């Protein structure tokens, strides 16, 4: 068991080092692909705290991701805020919005919870779309420049390779933070709630409040991912708030395995790579994604990583 | 008599109606600290509904539940658990996806006020591990600590159910048919275990059972429920001799076995 943990840690370290040196040998195009995988992976991992660990399916997480994107984009545009502080604001903003939306949503469970998150997500989307003077309407926020990073670090963030490496560091740190939460006593309570919230209540835990805590943390990490996404795409658009954006972390978590911590990251890699590869020779990317997803749900229900780990455990 | 002390838990005309059915009908009881009390009655008598009201799972239609003299009726389960009333469930209610040790740790994390530790590593909390293993050892489950709970036998899951309740160190341990579905040997083992637990610590045990013979050797006092009402209360022998109980309760059983 602990040998396996060591092996996985070593594997992750190798992957991280390889990713760090990616700009040294890979074409620019792959730097963009890798950055997108990392950012959406963080979004999906943040989402999966609520989905995989707490057992609640949210279809409104684009609200937090998109909100984070707008917060960073606006701070950069209007105040030339150093990126580090803009990202912290996105993290806090995502958490705060999740607190407001979650306050209502955690009162409901199962499909009603899901429908309410979807409804709130749609509301946030239409506010962004309608409130043109503030949000730029359907064009979103553009024309902002990433200046300094802050915290005394001198980085040329205009260079995509540098921005990518910064993304790698931030996603790794944020991922580590999330991982610690999942293996904490608090994380145990979440996992227990996913299976049997009532039994948890009878041990003295106010289940609804803990659902809200999980939702807020999840929203904060989604907001951080959104904050990283805006400078990467050079726009904060209402599309990042659209309900179809909320579906992405769901698909990624299921593809990779929602019962594992790294599943959503693997799912993000599968999703982005498939999308990149398939759109290079056909427009019908959604059709292929649908087929892959159908096959996974039928034959690899616990996701790629989940199934692999199951196999290993059975053998070892 | 113990009856003269202030009771740790009492109910006053506790009533629950489901539509036209009165599942619990004006039941008033009192438990004294440190007693082992059995609530018996045939299936459908209203025992579980009574438990649900005391433990906060259901809000009473009317009546009071007094714990140390203050009314807890209608309070949410987590507050009642925090206050010192732990309960188990007639239908096994454990976390199948977690390990056996983790099942107990859920309750310990809650009870020790560690549930908001976000950046501590559960696996490195030695106190939580030791305490969980001690509780498992008391129930003879220590060798299964690392197993996924879903793989346990039914009897072991019933014991784990008890371990989760003990982990919150309740003053009152309410067990809803702890021997439901167990073989006669397993049943005897559980009864023996409860007796030992009680000898170790001054728990107040409140146990339901549909088969009155099971708890006769264990309970110091027996309450009999029938069709939502409290029919009799007294020492096991008294209750056994009570003609009304014989008619209502044992009569039902004879009908059952005759059928
Ligand atoms: N949630 C519920 N809704 C409607 N009726 C219920 C509910 N729970 C129990 N009852 C009814 O209340 C009566 C008492 O049930 P219960 O308390 O489970 O009895 P016991 O535990 O003594 O077997 C039964 O007739 C049962 O059908
Ligand atoms: Mg019952």
CATH assignment of B1-84+173-259?
3.40.50.300
Direct distance between the N- and C-terminal alpha carbons of chain A, in angstroms, rounded to an integer = 9
**Closest CB to A202 among B81, B117, B125:** B81
State pTM to two decimals: 0.93
Closest-CA distance, A204 to chain B, in angstroms, reads 4
Quick one: which of A151, A132, A149 has its CA closest to A141? A132
* Residue pairs spanning A and B at CB distance below 8 A: 102
* Cβ within 8 Å, pair A189-B93: no
Round to whole Å and give the CA distance between A70 and A231.
Answer: 10
Mean pLDDT of A282-302: 84
- Lookup: tokens for A213: 């805590």
Round to whole Å and give the CA distance between A94 and B22.
Answer: 49
Q: Which of B72, B79, B89, B109 to mutate to test the interface with A (most CBs of A within 10 A)?
A: B109
Round to whole Å and give the CA distance between A258 and A250.
Answer: 9
Round to whole Å and give the CA distance between A64 and A85.
Answer: 17
Distance B208 CA to ligand 2 centre (A): 8
**Which residues are CB-neighbours of B234 under 8 A, at least 6 positions away?**
B221, B222, B242
Ligand 1 atom having least distance to the Cα of B46: 17
Is residue B249 a contact partner of residue B63, using CB atoms and an 8 Å limit? Answer: no
Is residue A180 a contact partner of residue B119, using CB atoms and an 8 Å limit? Answer: yes
| Residue appearing with tokens 């616990």 | A302
What is the number of other CB atoms lying within 10 angstroms of the CB of residue B114?
A: 20
Q: What pLDDT shows up at residue B251?
A: 59
Quick one: which of A230, A232, A233 has its CA closest to A72? A230
B173, β-bridge pairs = B86, B205
Strands B62-67 and B9-18: antiparallel
Distance A192 CA to ligand 2 centre (A): 25
Element (H, E) at B259: none
* Cβ within 8 Å, pair A183-B121: yes
N residues, chain A: 316
Report residue A278 CA to chain centroid gap.
Answer: 23
Q: Domain ranges for chain A, please list them.
A: 28-241
Q: What pLDDT shows up at residue B259?
A: 39
Closest-CA distance, B52 to chain A, in angstroms, reads 11
ipTM comes to 0.92
pLDDT grade for B11, boundaries at 50, 70 and 90: very high
Round to whole Å and give the CA distance between B115 and B133.
Answer: 19
Q: What pLDDT shows up at residue B224?
A: 93
Round to whole Å and give the CA distance between A149 and A153.
Answer: 6
Residue B174 DSSP SS3:
strand
* Cβ within 8 Å, pair B86-A202: yes
Closest-CA distance, A293 to chain B, in angstroms, reads 25
**Which residues are CB-neighbours of A21 under 8 A, at least 6 positions away?**
none
**Residue B254 scores a pLDDT above 80:** no
**Which residues are CB-neighbours of A62 under 8 A, at least 6 positions away?**
A121, A125, A240, A241, A242, A243, A244, A245, A246, A248
Among B18, B47, B174, which is best to mutate for testing ligand 1, by the most ligand atoms less than 8 A from CB? B18
CATH assignment of B88-169?
3.40.50.300
Lowest mean pLDDT among A55-69, A85-99, A145-159, B112-126: A145-159
**Residue A147 scores a pLDDT above 70:** yes
Q: What pLDDT shows up at residue B86?
A: 97
Nearest CA in chain B to A186: B115
Sequence ranges of chain B with CATH classification 3.40.50.300:
1-84+173-259, 88-169
Round to whole Å and give the CA distance between A301 and A56.
Answer: 18
* Cβ within 8 Å, pair B125-A196: no
Q: Which of chain A's residues have a Cβ under 8 Å away from the Cβ of B175?
A: none
In terms of C-beta distances under 8 Å and separation of at least 24 residues, what long-range contacts does A16-21 make, across chains too? A16/A168, A16/A172, A19/A168, A20/A165, A20/A168
Provide the mean pLDDT of chain A.
Answer: 93
**Residue B256 scores a pLDDT above 70:** no
Distance B170 CA to ligand 1 centre (A): 26
Mean pLDDT of A254-261: 93
Order of strands, sheet of B70-71, starting from the edge strand that comes earlier in the sequence: B21-31, B9-18, B62-67, B70-71
Strands B36-40 and B221-226: parallel
DSSP assignment of A205-274:
--HHHHHHHHHHHHHHHHHHHHHHHHHHHTEE-GGGGSHHHHHHHHHHHHHH-TTSSSHHHHHHHHHHHH
Mean pLDDT of B197-201: 90
Round to whole Å and give the CA distance between A205 and A199.
Answer: 9
Percent pLDDT > 70 in chain A is 99
Is A179 near chain B, with CB under 8 Å? no
At B53-105, the pLDDT tens digits run 999 999 999 999 999 999 999 999 999 999 999 999 999 899 999 999 999 99
**Residue A136 scores a pLDDT above 90:** no
Q: Give nearest CA residue, ligand 1 atom 24.
A: B44
Residue B23 DSSP SS3:
strand
Mean pLDDT of A132-147: 86
Element (H, E) at A24: helix A22-25
Closest-CA distance, B18 to chain A, in angstroms, reads 21
Q: How far is CA A274 from CA A28, A301, B10, B70, in A?
A: 18, 19, 65, 62
Mean pLDDT of A9-20: 95
Element (H, E) at B106: helix B100-111
Distance B49 CA to ligand 1 centre (A): 6
Mean pLDDT of A285-293: 85
The DSSP call for residue A108 is S
**Residue B44 scores a pLDDT above 50:** yes
Is residue A38 a contact partner of residue A258, using CB atoms and an 8 Å limit? Answer: no
Q: Which of chain B's residues have a Cβ under 8 Å away from the Cβ of A195?
A: 95-98
Q: What pLDDT shows up at residue B258?
A: 43
Round to whole Å and give the CA distance between A138 and A128.
Answer: 8
pLDDT grade for A71, boundaries at 50, 70 and 90: very high
Among B46, B55, B89, which is best to mutate for testing ligand 1, by the most ligand atoms less than 8 A from CB? B46
Round to whole Å and give the CA distance between A78 and A55.
Answer: 39
* Cβ within 8 Å, pair B77-A201: yes
| Residue appearing with tokens 């919005």 | A97
pLDDT grade for B3, boundaries at 50, 70 and 90: very low
Q: What pLDDT shows up at residue A156?
A: 82
Round to whole Å and give the CA distance between B86 and A121.
Answer: 40
Quick one: which of A290, A300, A298 has its CA closest to A260? A300
| Residue appearing with tokens 């902002």 | A144
């Amino acid at each position: 068991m602990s040998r396996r943990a060591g092996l996985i840690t070593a594997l992750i370290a190798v992957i991280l080092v390889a990713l760090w040196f990616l700009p040294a040998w890979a074409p620019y195009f792959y730097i963009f692909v890798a950055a997108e995988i990392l950012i959406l992976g963080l979004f999906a991992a943040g989402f999966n705290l609520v989905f995989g660990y707490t057992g609640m399916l949210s279809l409104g997480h684009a609200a937090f991701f998109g909100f984070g994107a707008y917060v960073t984009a606006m701070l950069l545009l209007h105040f030339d805020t150093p990126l580090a502080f803009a990202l912290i604001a996105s993290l806090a903003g995502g958490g705060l919005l999740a607190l407001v939306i979650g306050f209502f949503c955690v009162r409901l469970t199962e499909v009603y919870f899901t429908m309410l998150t979807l409804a709130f997500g749609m509301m946030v989307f239409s506010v962004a779309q309608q409130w043109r003077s503030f949000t730029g309407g359907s064009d979103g926020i553009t024309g902002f420049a990433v200046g300094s990073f802050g915290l005394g670090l001198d980085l040329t963030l205009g260079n995509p390779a540098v921005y990518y490496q910064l993304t790698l560091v931030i996603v790794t740190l944020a991922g580590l933070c999330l991982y610690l939460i999942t293996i904490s006593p608090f994380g145990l309570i979440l996992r227990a709630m996913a299976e049997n919230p009532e039994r948890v209540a009878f041990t003295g835990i106010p289940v609804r409040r803990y659902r809200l805590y999980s939702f807020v943390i999840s929203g904060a990490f989604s907001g951080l991912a959104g904050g990283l996404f805006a400078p990467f795409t050079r726009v904060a658009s209402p599309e990042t708030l659209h309900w179809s954006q909320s579906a992405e972390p769901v698909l990624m978590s299921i593809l990779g395995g929602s019962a594992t911590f790294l599943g959503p990251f693997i799912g993000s890699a599968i999703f982005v790579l498939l999308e990149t590869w398939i759109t290079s020779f056909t427009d019908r990317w959604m059709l292929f994604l649908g087929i892959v997803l159908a096959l996974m749900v039928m034959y690899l229900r616990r996701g790629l990583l989940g199934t692999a780990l199951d196999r290993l455990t059975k053998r070892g | 008599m113990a009856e003269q002390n202030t009771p740790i838990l009492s109910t006053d005309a506790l009533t629950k109606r489901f539509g036209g059915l009165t599942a619990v009908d004006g039941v008033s009881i009192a438990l004294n600290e440190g007693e082992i009390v059995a609530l018996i009655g045939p299936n459908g008598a209203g025992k579980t509904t009574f438990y649900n009201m005391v433990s906060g799972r259901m809000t009473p239609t009317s009546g009071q539940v007094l714990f140390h003299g203050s009314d807890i009726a209608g309070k949410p389960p987590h507050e009642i658990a925090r206050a010192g009333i732990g309960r188990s469930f007639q239908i096994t209610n454990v976390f199948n996806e977690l390990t056996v040790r983790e099942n107990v740790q859920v309750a310990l994390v809650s009870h020790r006020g560690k549930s908001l530790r976000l950046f501590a590593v559960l696996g490195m909390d030695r106190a939580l591990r030791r305490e969980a293993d001690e509780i498992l050892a008391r129930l003879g489950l220590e060798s299964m600590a690392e197993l996924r709970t879903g793989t346990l036998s039914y009897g072991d899951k019933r014991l784990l159910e008890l371990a989760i309740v003990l982990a919150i160190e309740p003053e009152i341990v309410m067990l809803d048919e702890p021997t439901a579905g167990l073989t006669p040997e397993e049943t005897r083992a559980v009864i023996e275990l409860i007796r030992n637990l009680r000898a170790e610590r001054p728990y107040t045990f409140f146990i339901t059972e549909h088969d009155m013979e099971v708890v006769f050797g264990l309970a110091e006092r027996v309450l009999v429920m029938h069709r939502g009402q409290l029919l009799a209360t007294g020492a096991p022998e008294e209750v056994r001799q009570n003609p009304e109980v014989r008619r209502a309760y044992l009569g039902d059983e004879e009908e059952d076995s005759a059928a």
